[in-house]
Structure 1
């Protein structure tokens, strides 16, 4: 099995014509059975954010990893072409259009801009490749920018959708921040996922990390952003890539935010990606090698995850935190759900002697695979909060997500 197996399966299903999720699920399950793959549960490889439909969770993962593939090569018992033919033949007369989150990014409306603000559509190129990106420049930029946040969207999303859903531009206007939204397209991954599970995209100076780092450096230098005020955050596959950026370019980012993502080095192909997303151990974690010293060196970290996430199992948040080590006072804080449906949460903090937080982990009660506190104009958002965007910005700028301490 190649790393592009799941992407090819999704591309094949995207050619079907169906409005019947159960029918499409049966087709995909039959195809996987032909390929020697059985089981149920899990989520889409590459951290595809799921919506309310259960079709992605029920149909694609849940692979019999031990029985049906080599642990080193992941070879299928049946060739991919046979699987695709089964999908095509079984899908006659069905429709996929209208199934949210399957191959077609939401066309989010352009958000209104304050007078003097800009939401630029630009492109960055380097030896490792090129990406389109949107750049929010606040109307108060002339008074001095306070930082740069690089926002990495999830699967099937695009920069405009992600900006609308996270509401990060409004926070950027309030705090005089520059926000960049790199775009992963169908040409780079058929579901527009950042390729967090491919070895070539988990290393410094190559692949997608090199592109994102080069874009970050160019904006930092162009807009004279202080070196310690550069941050990266992402959702799902974008969250996994943000974790990779923190490990491969620790000197570049002052802090990273991972929402519903996965730990650095937790997968090296499609099969190990499926496993770790389902909460299984995946591959052995890779010790981080950071310029200047041990495992505790590197950017500060804030993590959000929903306790009811069936696409990326909540145990992945624990794995991210465990991989960072950390020293200092450990504080656990729980907040029950409030009247009006606001979700409760448990927050674990590693606090330094100077009062700043080196690690924060938020587990949101009952939340699924969606940006906590996000706006419904974007995809994969949970408006019931708490507000992950506001907490991240406070953590990035002030070393704590506590409003009273910020």
Structure 2
């Protein structure tokens, strides 16, 4: 796995922009940049660069679980960075006739497709629905899936917006987090926005782009629009709308809490980063390795936030979980309670709860000892899960339901 702290990000960026992709990817792999390749070896060098990019995507693991290298009983993990800008540059180069001869025209358009095991849609209980929708606005369009539990009869239900990680999709994320199963049990709606490859080749939410960190623009406007569309279609409870995500989706969830505090009553950030932790690709690498500096919370109200992060995470440094909590902390004094435990699967954890003067929990931080970059307590039916850990989905819903509020008039 690449040690991000030792990478010369400026040189990686320079090489990428210059089209020297093999050299750039070698640096990202922690290798010396290769010298000029002989003409007869050009195809091999280009293929090596392609393989390096594929190596940045976690390989298929037995059961689909992915945790930190060296974790007991777990397969070796691979790095899972958000390489949006690098990938777009690579794709553009491949799509340019003659730019990288020998790979074939259009080769880059399918990059990333078919990586990892095929995932089937999670089973749907009798009377429930898991349906595809589309949302279009000035900022663009996204499809999404919505789970409607069998217990829905027109009543005003809570809504949870789930933002998947890189290379994932709504079906995969629903299967891994088991959020649909929980929604069927507790009767709430779940919406899964889909990030297409046209927006990011690895299907990452573009949390590191300044244009996707603001209200009424970019991806935040689309995600908020999907949440409002679900509220309108199902007459949902606008005072119980929540957002959660993993990795790039966790970073996007933190952005939604900062940009739409009037829409979301609480947020769940799993293995993610704070809003504004990065503004471009170089600063994204720095933030992921623990060298970022999240911007202070704006003038809006603080959104109650629950964080899960493994202290063995080698993709997004666990200090980012601390930064998410710091950014979500309100300006009032909070009491703090720390508990420690271990799951039946053998994972130890430390849980820190901060409450306001009225005793209401407003911040909750779970540090998962020895865990890597994966959804805690998830199902092997989905990718990037660690079944050994505490049930993050259930704990998030417990926290979310305690934050129900009477919604204020929202701005559009």
Normalising by structure 1, we get a TM-score of: 0.74
CA, structure 1 residues 330+133, in 2 after alignment: closer, same or farther (shift >3 Å)? same
Instruction: Quote the Cα distance in structure 2 between the aligned partners of 1:145 and 1:382.
Output: 33
Superposition map of 1:6-405 within 5 A: 51=66, 52-56=75-79, 104=115, 106-142=117-153, 144-280=155-291, 282=292, 284-291=293-300, 297-326=301-330, 327-336=333-342, 338=344, 341-399=345-403
Kept in 1, the 8 Å contact 2:13–2:282? The answer is no
CA, structure 1 residues 138+321, in 2 after alignment: closer, same or farther (shift >3 Å)? same
Instruction: Quote the Cα distance in structure 2 between the aligned partners of 1:325 and 1:298.
Output: 7
CA, structure 1 residues 106+216, in 2 after alignment: closer, same or farther (shift >3 Å)? farther
Counterpart for residue 48 of structure 2: none
Kept in 1, the 8 Å contact 2:26–2:32? The answer is no
Structure 1 residue 286 displacement after superposition = 2.3
Tell me the C-alpha RMSD between the 2 structures.
3.8
Instruction: Quote the Cα distance in structure 2 between the aligned partners of 1:141 and 1:381.
Output: 29
Q: Provide the aligned length of Structure 1 versus Structure 2.
A: 342
Instruction: Quote the Cα distance in structure 2 between the aligned partners of 1:382 and 1:204.
Output: 33
Structure 1 residue 352 displacement after superposition = 2.4
Kept in 2, the 8 Å contact 1:279–1:316? The answer is yes
In the TM superposition, what whole-angstrom CA distance separates every residue of 1:166-187 from its partner, at most 9, and x where no partner exists?
0000110111111000000111
Kept in 1, the 8 Å contact 2:329–2:363? The answer is no
Kept in 1, the 8 Å contact 2:93–2:100? The answer is no
Structure 1 residue 217 displacement after superposition = 1.2
In structure 1, the gaps of 5 or more residues are 17-23, 36-43, 62-73, 75-79, 92-98, 292-296, 401-406
Kept in 1, the 8 Å contact 2:343–2:390? The answer is no
Instruction: Quote the Cα distance in structure 2 between the aligned partners of 1:106 and 1:352.
Output: 45
Instruction: Quote the Cα distance in structure 1 between the aligned partners of 2:114 and 2:369.
Output: 29
In the TM superposition, what whole-angstrom CA distance separates every residue of 1:53-99 from its partner, at most 9, and x where no partner exists?
55537x999xxxxxxxxxxxx9xxxxx969x9xx97999xxxxxxx9
Q: Give the match's secondary structure for 2:251.
A: helix
CA, structure 1 residues 190+53, in 2 after alignment: closer, same or farther (shift >3 Å)? farther
